[in-house]
């Protein structure tokens, strides 16, 4: 699994089924399940790296209604994670645009279901749900300490 294959699989989402996340993901899940278990793990690794790269203060300030303001105001780590998923789900060009220019971040949009893609493919392939995927970085909000450092 390389980045080109990762983005090809992301590109299989069936956006005509918007509102039914399982249906949106289904073509990608089926395709990823054709890969080896190692490639499914590698897909999750690449996804984690993409979400980690977007885990920055600059991006968190751009997500719309739930944007990060300061340490004193409530900020949902989950909402920010799901908003970052939306960026990745919209493909390589959009992802790279938002990564380089946080002002391009879509407001008040999310796609939490992306987090289930590799697990669903793994289960379809093996018949067993994975316990967890071990990745080099965590996609959880605030994991990218450099991205949250105040200059």
pLDDT per residue as tens digits for the range 13-30? 999 999 999 999 999 999
| pTM attached to this predicted model | 0.96
- The average pLDDT across 25-44 equals 98
The Cα 4–Cα 9 span in angstroms is 9
Residue with more model confidence, 80 or 132: 80
94-107 tens-digit pLDDT: 999 999 999 999 99
Q: Tell me the average pLDDT of the chain.
A: 96
Side-chain half-sphere of 56: how many Cα atoms within 13 Å? Answer: 18
**How far from chain centre, in Å, is Cα 120?**
15
pLDDT at residue 129, as a whole number: 87
pLDDT at residue 151, as a whole number: 52
* C-beta neighbour count of 4 within 10 angstroms: 9
82-95 tens-digit pLDDT: 999 999 999 999 99
The Cα 60–Cα 84 span in angstroms is 9
Nearest-5° Cα angle at 46, 71 to 103: 45
């Amino acid at each position: 699994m390389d980045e080109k294959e990762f983005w090809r699989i992301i590109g299989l989402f069936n956006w005509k089924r918007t509102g039914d996340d399982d249906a949106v993901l289904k073509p990608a899940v089926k395709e990823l399940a054709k890969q080896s278990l190692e490639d499914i793990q590698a897909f999750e690794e690449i996804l984690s790296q993409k979400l980690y790269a977007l885990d920055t203060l600059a991006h968190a300030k751009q997500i719309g209604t739930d944007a990060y303001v300061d340490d004193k105001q409530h900020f949902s780590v989950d909402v920010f994670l799901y908003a970052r998923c939306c960026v990745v789900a919209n493909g390589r060009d959009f992802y790279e645009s938002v990564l380089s220019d946080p002002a391009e971040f879509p407001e008040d949009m999310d796609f939490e279901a992306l987090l289930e893609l590799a697990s669903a493919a793994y289960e379809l392939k093996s018949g067993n749900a994975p316990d967890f995927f071990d990745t080099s970085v965590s996609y959880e909000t605030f994991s990218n300490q450099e991205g949250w450092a105040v200059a």
